[in-house]
Structure 1
Amino acid sequence: MSHIFDLNNKLGEGRYGIVCKGYWGGKTVAVKRIQLHQCCNQEENAMKKLDHPNVVKFFHAESDQHFRYYCLELCDGSLDQMLSKDKDPEKFLKAHPMFLQLRNIYQLATGLEYIHKQGLIHRDLKPENVLIIKNRKNQETMKWADFGLSKQVNETEKWLAPEISKLLEDKGDKITQRGTIKSDVFAEGLVFGYYLSNGLHPFGSRDKIYSNILKNKLINLD
């Protein structure tokens, strides 16, 4: 293996993989590990060609007998982490007046537009997948992350477009290779609403979000 995967320095964990700090090519990176049978090689090949300041950089991938390892750009945190109670959200929000929020939203919109122009659909847009990196002057850049590497993505109904949620409801279908530019843009709007409303979902509390999305009933945006 040409990278070092440090299980003792975990950055995050999802249903289909974990992310740890690691080392590759003389630099510190984030290494995502996914079970081999869950990997999507077609999307991986496309991701290798992506090069945009608002998309997390993909450096390298390799496998062992059980897992696929992806070496990715290391960021400072995610939007949901910054707005969580454990991370002092008040401090984060004070550092993000409206003009800065709008600038960051523009960054993410530009990043997603670029992804779509490359013929890709993200399919897993949510605050956990908005990563933030700071430069030496403490200036932030927001980046989309964590898409296209796993066959199964975004089964969290609160971040799904209504047509995708309805598909699940009607057919009990798995969201495998599903999604469109339209459903991506809807989910992007949910993320923007979450950011602008200081960590509140635009369609309300956890147990009501799904039904409110289907009814187009906004709760937390004036």
Structure 2
Amino acid sequence: MSDEVRNLDLDNKLGEGRYGIVCKGMWREKPVAVKRIQLIHIASNTQGEETLQGLDHLNVIKLFHAESDANFRYYYLELCNASLEKLFLKEGHKNKYRGPMPPSLTALYQLAVGLEYIHKMGLVHRDLKPENVLIWQDPRKGNVLLKWADFGLCKPVNERGSYSMSGVRGTFDWLAPEILNLFFNEELSQSESETTSTVKRGTIQSDVFSEGLVFGYFLLDGRHPFGLRHQIHTHILENKPVNLDKIQSKCARELILRMPRENIADRITSTEVAEFLKQMKSHETQLFALCSRDTYPSLEEVTHFLQEGMDFNCTIEEGMSPLHYLANKKRNGQNNLLEIL
């Protein structure tokens, strides 16, 4: 066992799951998060670990190293500040994340390109949820990145993006309907004493459904797009996203509606999600440029961005919105600010 494992700070726990804990530790004199899992819960081959160690993307958590002792497997991971669900804990909660966040569109884009990369590397994640989105802040520059984490259920896919699955894996509130249906069909088969076990095929499009739920959760300030806890499974199976109409940004709302669609063939791909958000970010940049120039924009220019579905309440890192830029700067020429507002 290495010095890093011996120096693992078990009293400085970052998280705890069904099969293990995450604590702070050191790896090659660098602070890391160390995930410790009992060996009985670890697959016998390490091919999956080798694949994950090969992942290298700003918006995917980095696995630096893995090793075992007599009882546990240890994973040395990039150390982050918090997970996404801690952003929405109630004020006063000791674990609430109160640090900086990127603008909403930037946050979604980061997650989109992260999942696109995972899929392009021939992998399906299978457990996308807020707890598996980590917030990382550069201690020197201060910029914030969101990263997909916890690849314990990750599997390789074939060239068509499908994979074999003999059972349901993942977190129920964040599963696609085809995965939920598989679980309920398995339960029905067991209750009817059926003993035949069939291997079914899953696809990376189930990840896109779950990603859409995470996007909605983020833009809804911690509310699930399909309602309250006791409603979620029913509403997912009935295709009733009851909260999505509360998302202010028309563009973001339209995108998310295309992600958690009931029919797999109707869902856009992770690449299409990333491209859509790239275009939205471009429009947002143009909007800020319009509102910060030396003359007030015309009503026609403002109307164009409204018709594009842009949110005039969107903010950049400093917390400034296009409306702030309009109101806080004295302009040349005709003052039509009231008309614009």
Shift of 1:177: 11
Please list, as runs of the form range in 1=range in 2, the aligned pairs for 1:143-158 lying within 5 A after superposition. Answer: 143-148=147-152, 154-158=169-173
List per-residue Cα deviations over 1:160-189 (Å, max 9, x = no partner).
01111111111039xx99852110111011
Q: Is the 8 A contact 1:75 1:133 kept in 2?
A: yes
Write out the 4+ residue segments of structure 1 that deviate beyond 6 Å after TM superposition: 149-153
Give the structure 2 partner of residue 23 of structure 1: 26
Separation in 2, partners of 1:126, 1:157: 10
Change (3 A) 1:5 1:177: farther
Instruction: Pick one of 13, 17, 28 that aligns with 2:16.
Output: 13
Give the structure 2 partner of residue 71 of structure 1: 76
Give the structure 1 partner of residue 125 of structure 2: 122
Give the structure 2 partner of residue 163 of structure 1: 178
Separation in 1, partners of 2:117, 2:81: 23
Separation in 2, partners of 1:160, 1:203: 12
Quick one: higher RCO (CA 8 Å, sep 6+), 1 or 2? 1
Shift of 1:84: 1.2
Please list, as runs of the form range in 1=range in 2, the aligned pairs for 1:1-222 lying within 5 A after superposition. Answer: 1-2=1-2, 3=4, 4-40=7-43, 41-85=46-90, 86=93, 100-135=103-138, 136-148=140-152, 154-172=169-187, 179-222=202-245
> What secondary structure does 2:244 align onto?
coil
Q: Is the 8 A contact 1:39 1:150 kept in 2?
A: no
Q: Is the 8 A contact 2:123 2:154 kept in 1?
A: no
Shift of 1:156: 2.3
Change (3 A) 1:88 1:147: closer
Change (3 A) 1:119 1:148: farther
Bigger proportion of residues as strand: 1
AA in 1 matched with 2:145? T
> What secondary structure does 1:201 align onto?
coil
AA in 2 matched with 1:79? L
List per-residue Cα deviations over 1:5-54 (Å, max 9, x = no partner).
21100000111211001111111100001121322423211101000000
Separation in 1, partners of 2:185, 2:107: 36
**Count of residue pairs brought into register by the alignment:** 215
Normalising to structure 2: TM-score of the pair? 0.59
RMSD: 2.4
> What secondary structure does 1:207 align onto?
coil
Q: Is the 8 A contact 1:125 1:191 kept in 2?
A: yes
Q: Percent identity?
A: 60
Segments of structure 2 that go 5 or more residues without pairing to the other structure are: 156-166, 191-198, 246-341
Q: Is the 8 A contact 1:121 1:179 kept in 2?
A: no
Separation in 2, partners of 1:177, 1:113: 24
List per-residue Cα deviations over 1:67-89 (Å, max 9, x = no partner).
11000000000100111112567
Normalising to structure 1: TM-score of the pair? 0.89
